[in-house]
Amino acid sequence: MALLTSRNAAAGGKLLRCAAAAAIPTIRQLSSSASTITVETSVPFTGHRIDPPSRSVETTSEELMSFFRDMALMRRMEIAADSLYKAKLIRGFCHLYDGQEAVAVGMEAAITKKDCIITAYRDHCIFLGRGGTLLESFAELMGRKDGCSRGKGGSMHFYKKEGGFYGGHGIVGAQVPLGCGIALAQKYRNDENVTFALYGDGAANQGQLFEALNMSALMDLPAILVCENNHYGMGTAEWRAAKSPSYYKRGDYVPGLKVDGMDALAVKQACSFAKQYALKNGPIILEMDTYRYHGHSMSDPGSTYRTREEITGIRQERDPIERVRKLLLAHDIANEKELKDIEKEVRKEVDDAIAKAKESPMPDPSELFTNIYVKGFGSESFGADRKEVRATLP
């Protein structure tokens, strides 16, 4: 990720306020060091059975620039995926992440690639955050050989083993017990790493979450359950489906934290706090208050169960990229033009990746039969008539 040097990080003790939109990041420069900047989160954290961490988050100009670039890249990737889907180059079910980017980048800023992440089907940007490339993403989306799952998974099934990304799961809620199992292995390995198991506000109502949470709490597992609350599960508003939409409290005996998921720095603060807590004490829930701009999937216009005003209101007041843009400008770390240039660069990167991905071949048809069993450990696969036509695993 591009790193830019800070030009004016040491304004010193001045309370900066930008006058533009309603949700102005409040910036307080508490530090006089040239490299660290201290920024206050948009809103305070709310804790459940735990004292929340401080609102003051330390960051650097480099980090803010990388947040900006990474989120711009994610957003551009999702918008491009939308067009590719409409052009029928992406088939299957496709769920986009634009609006929620701050969760992906903030989380990565707090952890290492030895920590693990597991999520549901809205997985493209988490994959990028874990070090996945645009080419692998677009190739996977289009079902090509160079995709991160070799073209066999599609949009809902991105994985990256070396980045600690356990993927992309289709059955709502099913990834959470898996994540807790990963945390069990981490605990037994004694390697001081944690697992972030992401799920939605809709998924929060699945029974298996509670089973997994109870087990994790009994065993003090380093499992962090991250509820990405974008306020809708398909067309269902959170309050229609949840008696208590305070997802951070729903672990009852497990502590929780409510976080502004549109503020990358708040996410970072919460995730590093949670990691330390989980390593010492066991599971914790983070509720990320976030928003998806697109419909649930490509077949959902996203406008029947919520108002246009709601969407534009959030875009104007809480957009995670705009928040960082304002911080960068306010701190004089970059100017408008430099940020626009980054967005242009990112656009080009995305276009180039798409062009490359289009050249990637379809997976070999014999791949239909691979990875069902380990070669030599399962049976051969049969052709359509069972008796006469058979295929040996390649």
Instruction: State the binding partner of 122 from Mg ion, other proteins, ligand TPP, none, CB within 5 to 8 A by kind.
Output: ligand TPP
| Residues 134-153, mask of contacts with other proteins (x by CB under 8 A) | ---------x-------xxx
Asked whether position 86 contacts other proteins by CB under 8 A, the answer is no
Token pair of 94, please?
A: 């496709």
- Using CB under 5 A, which of 6, 66, 100, 230 touches Mg ion? 230
Residue numbers 163-202 binding other proteins by CB under 8 A = 170-173, 202
User: Which residue do the tokens 């992401």 mark?
Assistant: 198
Asked whether position 342 contacts ligand TPP by CB under 6 A, the answer is no
Other Cβ atoms less than 10 A from the Cβ of 278: the count is 27
Amino acid letter for position 102: A
Asked whether position 203 contacts ligand TPP by CB under 6 A, the answer is yes
- Give whole-number Cα distances, 221 to 19, 95, 218, 316, 356, in Å: 45, 30, 8, 39, 42
- Using CB under 6 A, which of 177, 233, 255, 256 touches ligand TPP? 233
Residue 171 CB, shortest distance to other proteins, in Å, is 7
Amino acid letter for position 203: A
Cα–Cα distance for residue pair 127/133, rounded to 1 Å: 8
User: Which residue do the tokens 């534009």 mark?
Assistant: 312
Instruction: State the binding partner of 367 from other proteins, ligand TPP, Mg ion, none, CB within 5 to 8 A by kind.
Output: other proteins
Q: Is 33 helix (H, G, I), strand (E, B) or coil?
A: coil
The residues, any chain, with a CB within 8 Å of residue 134's CB and separated by 6 or more, are 73, 77, 128, 349, 350, 353
- Using CB under 6 A, which of 171, 185, 218, 368 touches ligand TPP? 171
Nearer to other proteins, 9 or 120 (CB): 120
Name the β-bridge partners of 237.
232
The DSSP 8-state label assigned to residue 378 in this structure reads S
Cα–Cα distance for residue pair 113/129, rounded to 1 Å: 10
Element housing 81 (H / E): helix 61-86
Residue numbers 322-381 binding other proteins by CB under 8 A = 361-369, 372, 381
Asked whether position 99 contacts Mg ion by CB under 5 A, the answer is no
Residue 372 CB, shortest distance to other proteins, in Å, is 6
* Residue nearest Mg ion (C-beta atom): 200
Asked whether position 263 contacts Mg ion by CB under 5 A, the answer is no
| Burial group, residue 62, by CB count within 10 angstroms (0-12, 13-18, 19+) | middle
Nearer to other proteins, 189 or 308 (CB): 308
**Side-chain-side CA neighbours of residue 386 (13 Å):** 0
Closest CA to 277 of 298, 251, 300: 251
| Residues 185-224, mask of contacts with Mg ion (x by CB under 5 A) | ---------------xx-----------------------
Q: Which stretch binds ligand TPP (CB under 6 A): 167-175, 309-317, 322-330, 332-340?
A: 167-175
Token pair of 159, please?
A: 């994985």
> Could you tell me if 90 and 141 are in contact, meaning their C-beta atoms sit under 8 angstroms apart?
yes
Closest CA to 251 of 13, 111, 48: 48
Residue 203 CB, shortest distance to ligand TPP, in Å, is 4
Asked whether position 51 contacts other proteins by CB under 8 A, the answer is no
Asked whether position 233 contacts Mg ion by CB under 5 A, the answer is yes
Residues that bind other proteins (CB under 8 A): 91-93, 143, 151-154, 156-157, 170-173, 202-203, 205-208, 233-236, 240-242, 304-305, 361-369, 372, 381-389, 391, 394
Q: Return residues touching Mg ion (CB under 5 A).
A: 200-201, 230, 233
Residues forming the site for ligand TPP (CB under 6 A)? 122, 170-172, 200-203, 230, 232-234, 296
